[in-house]
Amino acid sequence: MGFPERTTTGYTDRRHAGQVLAQRMSGLELVDPVVLGLARGGVPVAAEVARVLGAPLRVCVARKIGAPSQPELAVGAVTADGPASYDPHLVRSFHLDEQTLQAACERERAEARRREQLFQRGEPLPLTGRDVVLVDDGLATGATARAAVRMLRESEPRNVVLAVPVGSPDAVALLRKEADVVVCVLQPVGFAAVGQWYRDFRATTDEEIHGILAEFA
C-alpha cells in the first residue's frame, strides 16, 4: 500500500494520523506484535498501524482522573486493574493527595472495567514474550498512556512500544522513562492540546470501535 506524505502541520483525521504513524514504524523489527488502541480515540489510529504490521488489534482502556476544578485536566489515570498513576506536579499544584482522589479513582476504575467488557472480542490475547504496541491519538499529559504501560508490564511482554502521531515534548520525555520504545511523529514546541493537530477530531464512538474490531475479527 502507498503511504501519505510525512506531515509537519497536522493530520486530516485519525485514520490519516495512523497511516503516517504506520509509515514511521514500518522499519521497526518487532517480534510477534500485538497492537492495542487506547479507547476511544486511539483505536482508529491503531487500526492503521495494525494493518501495516499485519498484527492483531485489541482495545486497551485507561481512564483519566480529572482535577476537581478542571475535570478535563488529567492529574492521574487508572486502568481496570493495577494501581492508579498520578502526576506528582499536578497533584501538588492542586493541593490534592491520593486519599482525596480515591473516590474519583474508583469511579474511573469501574468505568474502565465496564469498557473493557464492552470492547472485548473473543479470548484475551497472551502478551508474554511479545512486542506490544500501544497506540493513542496523542499525548497531552501522558497520564492515561503511563497507566496503560504500567498495566501492560504486568503481562511480561518482550517490549512495550508506545506510538502516537503527536505529543507534548514533556509528555514524550516522561513516557520514554516508562516504555521501551516511544515513537512520536510530531513534538510541537507550541503544543497546547491534541485536537489542535487534527482537522477532524470529533469523538470516536463505541459503534466505530465495534466496526473496526469486526474488521480484525
* Average pLDDT for 2-31: 83
pLDDT in tens, 60-96: 999 989 888 888 788 889 988 877 888 888 888 889 8
Regarding predicted confidence, which is higher, 137 or 217? 137
Is 8 a residue whose pLDDT tops 80?
no
Cis peptide preceding 40, ω within 30 of 0: yes
User: What are 131's three cell numbers?
Assistant: 512486542
How many domains would you assign to the chain?
1
User: What are 178's three cell numbers?
Assistant: 516508562
Does any domain span residue 78?
no
pLDDT averaged over every residue in the chain: 90
Return the minimum-mean-pLDDT range out of 7-11, 60-64, 185-189. Answer: 7-11
pLDDT of residue 5: 45
pLDDT of residue 7: 55
Crossing angle between the packed helical segments 206-215 and 102-119, to the nearest 10 degrees: 40
CATH number of the structural domain spanning residue 197:
3.40.50.2020
pTM: predicted TM-score of the whole model, two decimal places: 0.89
Q: Are 94 and 67 in contact (CB under 8 A)?
A: yes
Is 6 a residue whose pLDDT tops 50?
no
Instruction: Give, in order, the Cα–Cα distances in Å from 51 to each of 46, 54, 144, 171.
Output: 9, 5, 24, 27
Residue-range definition of the domain harbouring residue 181: 14-61+119-215
Does any domain span residue 56?
yes
